[in-house]
Amino acid sequence: MARSILTNPAVAAYLDTVCSQVKAKAVHEDIRLEIAGHLEELVSEKLESGLKTEEAVAEALIAMGNPVEIGKGLHAAHRPSTDWNLIGLIAVMVVLAVVSLVAVHTYDERLYRLGPVFFYGAIGITAMVVMMFVNYRRLLRLSWPLYWGTVLIMVLTLFYGAEINGSTQWILIGNIGFNVFHASPYLLLIAIAGVLHLEKEREAPNEGIVRITILLRNVIVYAMIPISLYLLTSSMAQMLIYVLSLSILLLLSGCWRLILATGVTGTGLFTIWQMLNPDFYDVLWGRINAYIQKHPDAVYQSVKSLEAIRSGGLWGQGLDKEVVIPYATSDMLFSYLVYSFGWVFGAVIIVSSLLMAIRLFRIGKTLRDDYANKLVIAVMAVLMVRMFWNILMCLGWVPVIGMELPLILWHSGTIVEFAALGLVLGAYRRKDMVSNSAPCVP
């Protein structure tokens, strides 16, 4: 009904004046429809009092008020927003990272040179700032290209990448190494967040065959292809991150059928892989059984980690090169930090991580754009699975696998981590600048 009054020249001119004050063009249509609805009610009242149409419209416009002032008020309501809480938490993580990297450098000066490490951090923070000012909805149309591009890079890395520690996950660009499989969970989950939104915006087909076909396609895309690539490169840690993060995204998106279908498919793939690779089966389940039984060889890293944590005390023992902590400069960094700086420092890391998880979850739930919601959940899931698995691993509560602290231990993959947080900040920045009737593809 409100659209019928939009054709009136006086109303159109009034709305043009209002919208000219609002810089967020994406919400202009919503503003026009909302004001037109109020005008239509006023015009109806005036017509009932005996006025002619033009007179009723003129008086209704006067009753609405000065269009310039209304436009300025609406502009104030639809300006970019900044989540200072999340920025503050990121700043805390950066400070923790700097302290941690200095500690790592002291522990192993040859392995960790501060120059290259801080360079990656600077690039990552720059990428975060850039992504914050990018319209995240432009990424929506790139969801499928991003997914297939990530898969293609993973395949190329599988065949042509550099093998490090028995796994082909790296590509080398000059002297710079980039772990493609470390970045892949972020890229895949961001792409899948867009795909889920695109499917939600489309009308659900009524035909059972079509629904089954879409479900089968999603199982192949979400489970079979990524899990197969992780298995082929023995990227068990990255596969675990991807599977857990995908489960969180699907769970919070209400995709119960997909959770069940992808879970069954992933379990089947994993079982077949073990049957085809008996050595892998023996090693994997041997380690799991040894961990459950607390065999000394299987829990050696956990034992040394817990010894270091217990020795740290409240304020730590200082930077000690002689302390024995396996992988102190990577997987067990949290243990070394607690040993060096005490449980106060460790508590700051844990509390900051919890607060970041809570803040990311709240941001996702407060965003009215479904795509932004899924995007934030995807980033939150990957970051928090990495963070909390690593901490629990150092505490001996979960098995030790190759999983590092995100945002704190800087390397080439840190660029992707900060860029992903930039997307979250960008989504929040535009939370009041997105139309309620925004098209599926901007």
pLDDT tens across 23-41, in order? 767 667 767 777 777 777 7
Sheet of 162-164: strand order equals: 162-164, 167-173, 176-179
Strand partners, 176: 173
Which has the minimum average pLDDT: 42-51, 131-140, 334-343, 411-420?
42-51
Query: What was the pLDDT predicted at 208?
Result: 66
Half-sphere exposure (Cβ direction) of 8: Cα atoms closer than 13 Å: 21
Pair 148, 219: CB distance under 8 Å? no
Are residues 240 and 372 located together in one domain of the fold? Answer: yes
* Paired tokens of 161: 């990448």
Is 302 contained in some domain? Answer: yes
Give the helix ranges, DSSP H, for 161-316. Answer: 180-201, 208-219, 225-232, 236-252, 256-276, 278-292, 300-312
Are residues 333 and 364 located together in one domain of the fold? Answer: yes
Q: Of 49, 77, 105, which residue sits at a domain end?
A: 77
Is 47 contained in some domain? Answer: yes
Are residues 40 and 107 located together in one domain of the fold? Answer: no
Q: pTM here?
A: 0.83
Tally of domains within the chain = 2
* Paired tokens of 267: 């379990």
C-alpha span between 415 and 119 (Å, rounded): 10
Query: What was the pLDDT predicted at 331?
Result: 86
C-beta neighbour count of 176 within 10 angstroms? 11
Are residues 289 and 394 located together in one domain of the fold? Answer: yes
Are residues 66 and 198 located together in one domain of the fold? Answer: no
Label residue 293 by pLDDT band (50, 70, 90). low
C-alpha span between 190 and 192 (Å, rounded): 6
Whether 434 shows a pLDDT value over 80: the answer reads: no
- Structure confidence by residue, pLDDT tens digits, 178-200: 889 999 999 999 999 999 998 87
How does DSSP assign 41-101, residue by residue?
Answer: HHHHHHHHTT--HHHHHHHHHHHH--HHHHHHHHHHHTS----HHHHHHHHHHHHHHHHHH
Are residues 156 and 224 located together in one domain of the fold? Answer: yes
Reference 325, options 96, 94, 108, 117; nearest CA is 108
Are residues 57 and 109 located together in one domain of the fold? Answer: no
Are residues 68 and 154 located together in one domain of the fold? Answer: no
- Structure confidence by residue, pLDDT tens digits, 46-59: 777 777 777 777 77
Whether 344 shows a pLDDT value over 90: the answer reads: yes
Is 329 contained in some domain? Answer: yes
Are residues 55 and 112 located together in one domain of the fold? Answer: no
Cα three-residue angle 407-409-411, rounded to 5 degrees: 95
Is 8 contained in some domain? Answer: yes
C-alpha span between 382 and 225 (Å, rounded): 18
Instruction: Say how far residue 261 (Cα) sits from the centre of its chain.
Output: 23
Q: Of 45, 77, 109, which residue sits at a domain end?
A: 77
Are residues 231 and 333 located together in one domain of the fold? Answer: yes
* Paired tokens of 50: 């005996």
Torsion of CA 421, 422, 428, 431, to 10 degrees: -130
Pair 298, 287: CB distance under 8 Å? yes
For range 192-220, the mean pLDDT? 78
Q: Of 50, 77, 104, which residue sits at a domain end?
A: 77
Instruction: Say how far residue 114 (Cα) sits from the centre of its chain.
Output: 27
Q: What is the largest CA-CA distance in the chain?
A: 94
C-alpha span between 377 and 360 (Å, rounded): 7
Q: What is each CA distance from 36 to 4, 23, 32, in whole angstroms?
A: 9, 19, 6
Is 441 contained in some domain? Answer: no
Torsion of CA 384, 387, 393, 394, to 10 degrees: -150
C-alpha span between 108 and 227 (Å, rounded): 35
Are residues 56 and 155 located together in one domain of the fold? Answer: no
Are residues 90 and 67 located together in one domain of the fold? Answer: no
Label residue 295 by pLDDT band (50, 70, 90). low
Whether 438 shows a pLDDT value over 60: the answer reads: no
162-164 vs 176-179, strand pairing mode: unpaired
Whether 284 shows a pLDDT value over 60: the answer reads: no
DSSP 203: P
Is 434 contained in some domain? Answer: no
Q: Which domain holds residue 72?
A: 2-77
C-alpha span between 333 and 327 (Å, rounded): 7
For range 213-219, the mean pLDDT? 83
Strands of 75-229, DSSP E:
162-164, 167-173, 176-179
Query: What was the pLDDT predicted at 368?
Result: 83
